[in-house]
C-alpha cells in the first residue's frame, strides 16, 4: 500500500513541486546522496551516449568490489545514504553488483537505473535478498533492446514484488515514437517518465520543444543554458550530494564531472579544482563545508534533484 502511494506521489510529484518534495522526504529523509558510477562499461551503443562518445570505459578501467565500496561508504559517512547508480555505464555489468546487493545495510536506500540487458535469473535472488530499500528504473534505449523484451523483464520483476519504473531519453530522431511508447507503458501499468536529451552541442528545435513539453513538465529542456549566458547559482553539491566514479574520484556533481573531463563540454573551460573533491581510496576526499557559487549551466537532472540548486537572476556574461 505504502509503495503504491509512493509511486503515485512519484508520478504526481514529477509535475508538482510540493508533492515532489513530500515524495522525496518520505522516500529518502535527510540522507546523503551518492551519485555512484561503479563501472563505465556498457554493452549498448546508443548514438546519444556521452559516456561512450568520450570512451570513459578506456580511461577508467579499474573497478572495485561490492564490499570494498561498502567499506568506503562506512568510512566516510556516518548517516544513511541514498546511493543511485545510473545507466551511464551499465550497473549490472559491474562485477561487484551481487556482492553489493547482498551486503548493503538496511539503513541505506538504493536507486538503480539499468538498460535491462541482463539475465533476470542471474540477479533475481540477490535483488530479492537485498536488505536496503531500493527501486529499479528500466531505462529504455530503443537502439539497444526490443520494447517487448524490455517490458517482459520489468513485468517479471514487478510480479516478484520489486519496485520498478521506467523512462526514456527524448532523443530527437525518436521523438515521433514517444507518444506511442508512453501509451504502451501506461497500458502495462509501469510508471514511466520522459527525460530530455542533454548535449552541449545540440539542442531541440522549437517544434521539438513543443512536443516534449507535453511529457516533461518539471524541467523544460530549453532552460539548460548551454547556448545562452548561464545564471549564477548556489548549491549544496559536495555537502549532501556527490558524484563518485569507479576509480574513487569524487566530483561535486555529474555536470562538474563532464565539464572537467569531457571534450564535448570543453567550450566551458572549467578548471578541475572547481569541481574535483579528491579520491576516496587515497584519502584526499573531503566533504565540502560551504555552499558552492556556480557559474556553469546546471544541466543534469540528477544534480538538480539533489544538490539543492538555487538559481539567481544574475546572469554571467
Where on the chain is the footprint of ligand SF4 (CB under 6 A)? Answer: 42, 44-46, 49, 51-52, 87-90, 115, 141, 144, 233, 235, 237, 252-253, 255-256, 292, 294, 296, 298, 303, 307, 309
When the beta carbons of 52 and 103 are compared against ligand SF4, the nearer one is: 52
- Dihedral sign, Cα of residue 205, residue 174, residue 165, residue 306: negative
- CA separation for the pair 18, 29 (Å, rounded): 15
- List, in order, residues 6 or more apart from 133 with CB less than 8 Å away: 106, 108, 109, 110
- For residues 167 and 234, the answer to whether their CB atoms sit within 8 Å is no
When the beta carbons of 93 and 101 are compared against ligand SF4, the nearer one is: 93
When the beta carbons of 8 and 310 are compared against ligand SF4, the nearer one is: 310
CB of 37 to ligand SF4, least distance (A): 10
When the beta carbons of 77 and 118 are compared against ligand SF4, the nearer one is: 118
Burial 249-281 (b: 16+ CB within 10 A, else e): bbbbbbbbbbbbbbeebeebebeeeebbbeebe
When the beta carbons of 132 and 250 are compared against ligand SF4, the nearer one is: 250
Instruction: Single out the residue of 213, 271, 44, 8 nearest to residue 145, CA to CA.
Output: 44
Name the E strands within the chain.
Answer: 32-37, 81-85, 109-114, 133-140, 164-170, 192-196, 231-235, 241-245, 249-251, 276-279, 292-294, 310-315
CB of 192 to ligand SF4, least distance (A): 17
CA 176, 178, 183, 189: dihedral to nearest 10 degrees?
170
When the beta carbons of 159 and 313 are compared against ligand SF4, the nearer one is: 313
CB of 238 to ligand SF4, least distance (A): 8
When the beta carbons of 132 and 168 are compared against ligand SF4, the nearer one is: 168
CB of 73 to ligand SF4, least distance (A): 21
CB of 259 to ligand SF4, least distance (A): 8
Report residue 128 as a C-alpha cell.
Answer: 530479492
CB of 17 to ligand SF4, least distance (A): 18
When the beta carbons of 136 and 235 are compared against ligand SF4, the nearer one is: 235
- CA separation for the pair 148, 154 (Å, rounded): 10
Exposure of 25 in the CB half-sphere (CA atoms within 13 A): 6
Q: Is 30 exposed, middle or buried (0-12, 13-18, 19+ CB in 10 A)?
A: exposed
CB of 93 to ligand SF4, least distance (A): 9
CB of 1 to ligand SF4, least distance (A): 33
- List, in order, residues 6 or more apart from 240 with CB less than 8 Å away: 32, 33, 306, 307, 308
Amino acid at each position: 500500500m505504502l509503495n503504491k502511494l509512493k509511486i503515485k506521489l512519484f508520478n504526481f510529484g514529477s509535475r508538482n513541486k510540493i508533492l515532489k518534495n513530500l515524495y522525496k522526504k518520505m522516500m529518502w529523509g535527510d540522507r546523503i546522496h551518492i551519485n555512484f558510477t561503479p563501472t563505465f562499461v556498457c554493452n549498448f551503443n546508443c548514438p546519444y551516449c556521452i559516456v561512450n562518445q568520450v570512451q570513459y570505459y578506456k580511461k577508467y578501467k579499474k573497478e572495485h568490489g561490492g564490499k570494498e565500496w561498502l567499506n568506503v561508504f562506512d568510512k566516510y559517512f556516518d548517516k544513511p545514504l541514498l546511493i543511485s547508480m545510473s545507466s551511464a555505464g551499465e550497473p549490472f555489468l559491474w562485477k561487484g553488483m551481487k556482492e553489493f546487493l547482498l551486503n548493503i545495510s538496511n539503513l541505506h536506500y538504493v536507486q538503480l537505473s539499468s538498460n535491462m540487458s541482463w539475465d533476470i535469473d542471474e540477479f533475481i535472488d540477490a535483488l530479492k535478498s537485498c536488505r536496503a530499500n531500493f527501486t529499479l528504473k528500466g531505462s529504455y534505449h530503443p537502439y539497444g533492446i526490443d520494447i517487448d523484451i524490455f517490458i517482459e523483464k520489468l513485468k517479471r520483476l514487478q510480479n516478484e514484488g520489486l519496485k520498478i519504473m521506467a523512462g526514456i531519453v527524448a532523443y530527437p530522431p525518436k521523438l515521433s515514437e514517444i507518444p506511442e511508447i508512453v501509451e504502451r507503458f501506461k497500458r502495462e501499468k509501469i510508471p514511466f517518465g520522459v527525460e530530455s536529451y542533454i548535449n552541449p552541442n545540440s539542442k531541440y528545435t522549437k517544434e521539438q520543444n513543443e512536443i516534449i513539453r507535453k511529457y516533461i513538465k518539471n524541467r523544460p529542456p530549453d532552460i539548460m543554458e548551454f547556448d545562452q549566458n548561464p545564471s549564477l547559482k548556489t548549491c549544496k553539491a559536495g555537502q549532501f550530494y556527490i558524484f563518485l566514479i569507479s576509480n574513487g574520484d569524487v566530483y561535486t556533481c555529474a555536470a562538474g564531472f563532464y565539464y572537467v573531463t569531457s571534450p564535448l563540454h570543453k567550450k566551458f573551460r572549467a578548471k578541475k579544482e572547481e569541481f574535483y573533491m579528491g579520491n576516496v581510496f587515497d584519502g584526499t576526499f573531503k566533504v565540502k563545508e560551504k555552499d558552492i557559487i556556480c557559474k556553469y549551466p546546471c544541466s543534469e537532472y540528477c544534480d538538480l534533484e539533489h544538490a539543492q540548486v538555487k538559481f539567481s537572476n544574475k546572469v554571467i556574461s
